[in-house]
Structure 1
Amino acid sequence: MTGLTRRSFGAMILASSAAACAPRADIPSRDDYLEGYGPLPDSGYSLPGIPTEYLQGVNRRMTGFYNGEQGPNTLDIDPFAKFLYHIRADGTTTRYPVGVGRQGRSITGSATIRLKRKWPGWTPTQNMLRTEPEVYGPFAAGLPGGLRSPLGSRALYLYRGSRDTFYRIHGTNDLESIGNSGSAGCIRMFNQDIIHLYDQIEVPMQVHIRDRAESLRVDPENYERGIELPPKIIDPEELLGPEAEALDRPPVLDEA
């Protein structure tokens, strides 16, 4: 397995992006993880466990009966309460905590997941390159799937009809961002959670994104939970330099 060292753990980040991931963080050495959030071998990598301080209260995966307004076999995203619900045919749901960036609050209503990818690569959009060339210019050629990709271990791609919305549900190592809002990014999940969700769904799959009124109506207790985090910027050398390239390696994928 390829472990995430201090630098390679920090390499899965890119702030101020539509696919923002994480600030650097030390990998804890412990074995007191909550169920489902321990170290996880995946595609030739060894993902670190999630420290319990990031999983307090409602900020962790939970299963129960769904009390929202959407039908079965749907993902229901509440960007204001910072939750994603996978609604199953029997009326039960798994609720995942999420982090929400600027793009994650810019779309409401219905969409469809038409693609899902393990360890996906990332390329900034033309709009990102045009509006913030100083941030995205160094990454214009993109980053391959792996430890350096800001989309983390999995990504779900949302479409409206045949049009890509550029709205993504993806993994992150920005542990602090889960349950909070940021200046950038779409919908981010703990890597353990996006892997769990990825394995539960088939594409195409319907997605609903709540607007403010629906969030307040359905879940007033958690409406606008969390805080607004400041932007996190990383030196491109951390992702593009020779040391970052040497520490990264392609994932070992057994399926698409």
Structure 2
Amino acid sequence: MAMIRRLMIAALLSAPLAACQTAQQQPNEVAATDDSAWYIGTMPDKPHDIPLVDRRRMDAKYARQTVDYKGPEKPGSIVVDIDERMLYLVQPEGKAVRYGVGVGKQGFSWKGIASVGRKGVWPNWSPTKTMVGIKPDLPRYMEAGLDNPLGARALYLYQDGRDILFRIHGTNEPWSIGEQVSSGCVRMLNEDVADLYERVPVGATVYVKRNGRYRV
């Protein structure tokens, strides 16, 4: 049994995950006994209104804001800093729109350079074969909706014209923003990913870096 367990863990760490579910329970310091307590209203959207998060429950640094940016990436690029738990949409004149994000648990995060291959509004969700192997009780398919782990929007990352099974997407777990808990994807508040979705075209370059580097 120990050998089987080691093989399963090795497969999980080496294969594309992108199931986008949380890889651990809510941290005690941010857990809420009632998820509805995280929300203060809704933002009109179709086919579902987007629940608006009570920002007072979150660290103010994760609020969407325009900041100075000195990186070399061109305007229109997305830069995800795993260590900072921040996503930057690079703007002209040394600025960027910065969003707080949740990232993959240690050993699960992907880094590299990709592009937005396609975009989805209230996307459906299916786990990868690897995730089903580790968690056989996962649903094989979930319709779009408020309980869907991809949330209100998803940007699908591609390399060389192929889906690499990593996403930038919304979440129904707002407590996870600023945490390192997911199965690999980059998650955002639904209201933030809806904002990013409108700003970013298909084809935009995405840099995901860790330890200051995005080169594999």
Q: TM-score, normalised by structure 2?
A: 0.78
Question: Per the alignment, do residues 90 and 143 of structure 1 end up closer, same or farther by CA in structure 2, a change over 3 Å counting?
Answer: same
Matched-pair contact (CA < 8 Å) for 1:156–1:169: yes
Partner of 1:232: none
Say which structure is richer in strand.
Answer: 2
Partner of 2:131: 128
Runs of 5+ consecutive residues of structure 1 not aligned to the other structure: 1-15, 31-37, 216-256
1:61-83 CA distance string (max 9 Å, x none): 01032122322220000011100
From 78, 97, 119, the equivalent of 1:94 is: 97
Matched-pair contact (CA < 8 Å) for 1:61–1:96: yes
Matched positions, count: 189
The answer to whether 1:155 aligns with 2:154 is yes
What RMSD in Å do the two structures reach over aligned CA positions? 2.6
3-state SS of paired residue (1:26): helix
Structure 1 residue ranges, 4+ long, deviating more than 3 angstroms after superposition: 21-24, 27-30, 102-105
Question: Per the alignment, do residues 208 and 173 of structure 1 end up closer, same or farther by CA in structure 2, a change over 3 Å counting?
Answer: same
The answer to whether 1:18 aligns with 2:19 is yes
Question: Quick one: distance in 2 between partners of 1:131 and 1:27?
Answer: 31
The answer to whether 1:54 aligns with 2:60 is no
Post-superposition offset of 1:27: 4.2
2:210 alignment partner AA: D
Question: Per the alignment, do residues 17 and 89 of structure 1 end up closer, same or farther by CA in structure 2, a change over 3 Å counting?
Answer: closer
Q: 1:39-78 residue pairs with structure 2 within 5 A?
A: 39-78=42-81
Identity across matched positions, percent: 35
Q: TM-score, normalised by structure 1?
A: 0.66
3-state SS of paired residue (2:164): strand
